[in-house]
Amino acid sequence: MPREFPHELLEDAEELSSYRGWTEDVYRDFLAVRGGLLSAEEFGKKYRRRRAILALDLTGFTLSAINIGELESLLRILDAQRVCIPVLKEFGAELIRCFADDMVAIYETADLALDAAFEVHSRIERFCNSDLASDHPTRCCVGIGYGEVFAIGPNLAQGDEMNRASKLGEDIARANETLLTERAFEAVRQRADMQFDLQSSDDQMFPFYRVTRAE
């Protein structure tokens, strides 16, 4: 038996977009898909792109706020952004977005994202060993995904590979680590300058690869 929803739904694309989830055009197209006026195939053709996602997280943000104070923890984020953003730009990022202690960069290829990740680790290390570093330096954790995404939202990349890259960078990678989704690994597996180690266990949501410089 059909069950009706007895409350008003927000159907106005302009108002929905004012809350900054997606643009007005994207909301109009989503509503058209929901209403049967636009097919999933047509939506995908309009918005799908193949991109690499670099998701970067800083170590110890919550603990630093507790142990060394809120301002100093925010200054650690500032230092990381001052170091990392030039690197991400240098390797051709199409988009860079910072939010809290995270950064996301979008690249055309997984190779570019991987090269950027290793240079980020290297440059952060040099900064932390310089006179510019604070007494509480930070390190970076990086997750990289590659594949078809929807070029929508603040990162212009939403979908499974974005979700996986974010999970790897924010929750799984440790300091100075770079982790790859399976699809990102497939895109760069021929590189002789890198070593890839499959990480897989029953308690993981999905397999992934830890990447290091080949010796």
The domain segmentation of the chain, as residue ranges, is 13-38, 48-213
Q: What is the pLDDT of residue 60?
A: 72
Q: What is the mean pLDDT of residues 101-109?
A: 97
| CATH class in words for 48-213 | alpha beta
Tell me the per-residue pLDDT of 124-148, one tens digit each, with 9 for 90 and over: 999 999 988 777 778 899 999 999 9
| Contacts for 100 with CB less than 8 Å, ≥ 6 apart | 61, 77
- Average model confidence (pLDDT) for the chain? 93
Nearest by Cα to 22 from 33, 35, 8: 33
Helices (H), 8-47: 13-18, 24-34, 40-47
Quick check: 94 pLDDT over 90?
Answer: yes
